[in-house]
Structure 1
Amino acid sequence: MAILSAQRLPLGGLQPTFAAAAGGGDQSPCGEKLFLLVRNGDATSKTVTVATPGTVGDLPVADAEQTIPASGSAMFPLKAVFRDPTTGRAAITYSAVTSVTVAVVQLP
């Protein structure tokens, strides 16, 4: 499991640096103005899940999940609702990591 760092988006724009998705999942900072970019460079689709550790009453809140098609991409807002109370970070998992790269970007 890797801990991803946020890249600040300057007003002049950003070409984000992507990292290989970790087989055991990744952790990311979360909060306002943060989002996760995921690129799938593989020939098969991949599912990305951002865990939602909270509950409403006694009911668990569903995790955020996107199936990314072959050669596709997706974005996830990394709001505070994804913050794990133990680590303080969002937990991200992947159905497979072949040719999957990720970046965390913070808006100005």
Structure 2
Amino acid sequence: MARTAIAAEAINSQTTRTPTFTAAIADGHMTINDGSTFLRVRNTDASPKTVTVLIPSTLAGVVAANGGRQHTIPANTGDVTIGPFPPDYTQPSDGRIWWDYSAITGVTVAVLKVERNK
């Protein structure tokens, strides 16, 4: 299995949205990044999990060789929002942000994008 793309769901002040959560996969996920994209990650497992957002270059003291910026998702109904992501997080090969999971049991993710009102 390869890294899989998740489409971002648009949100704004004129809509009410219940995010669509996707099960985490061992090879990680990716999505288009326009600077207004963020992740919402849930963990229902008894153990905390780590989500690592990969960084293609040095960013705010985090060197890409170290993997990226890590975020802990608490055990038992942990619900964490990560982002939005500046352009520095975008992978130059495909214009997306990539993230990995320390483990996938009980982990789901939704990708949301803030959209300006029309």
- TM norm structure 1: 0.88
Partner residue of 1:2? Answer: 4
Partner residue of 1:68? Answer: 73
Aligned-pair CA distance for 1:6? 0.5
Aligned-pair CA distance for 1:37? 0.7
- 1:29 and 1:75 map into 2 onto residues whose CA distance is 17
Letter of the aligned partner of 2:72 in structure 1? Answer: T
Partner residue of 1:26? Answer: 29
- 2:41 and 2:18 map into 1 onto residues whose CA distance is 14
Aligned-pair CA distance for 1:12? 2.3
- 1:67 and 1:55 map into 2 onto residues whose CA distance is 21
User: In percent, how many aligned pairs have the same letter?
Assistant: 36
Aligned-pair CA distance for 1:72? 0.4
Letter of the aligned partner of 1:67 in structure 2? Answer: T
**Superposed CA offset, 1:34-58 (max 9, x none):** 11111111111000000111136xx
Partner residue of 2:93? Answer: 86
Consecutive unaligned residues of structure 2, counting only runs of 5 or more, are none
Letter of the aligned partner of 2:89 in structure 1? Answer: F
- 2:73 and 2:58 map into 1 onto residues whose CA distance is 27
- 1:51 and 1:94 map into 2 onto residues whose CA distance is 11
Q: RMSD of the TM alignment (CA)?
A: 1.7
- TM norm structure 2: 0.81
Letter of the aligned partner of 1:8 in structure 2? Answer: A
- 1:88 and 1:33 map into 2 onto residues whose CA distance is 14
Consecutive unaligned residues of structure 1, counting only runs of 5 or more, are none
**Per the alignment, in what secondary structure is the counterpart of residue 93 of structure 2?**
coil
Partner residue of 1:47? Answer: 50
**Per the alignment, in what secondary structure is the counterpart of residue 81 of structure 2?**
strand
Letter of the aligned partner of 1:97 in structure 2? Answer: I
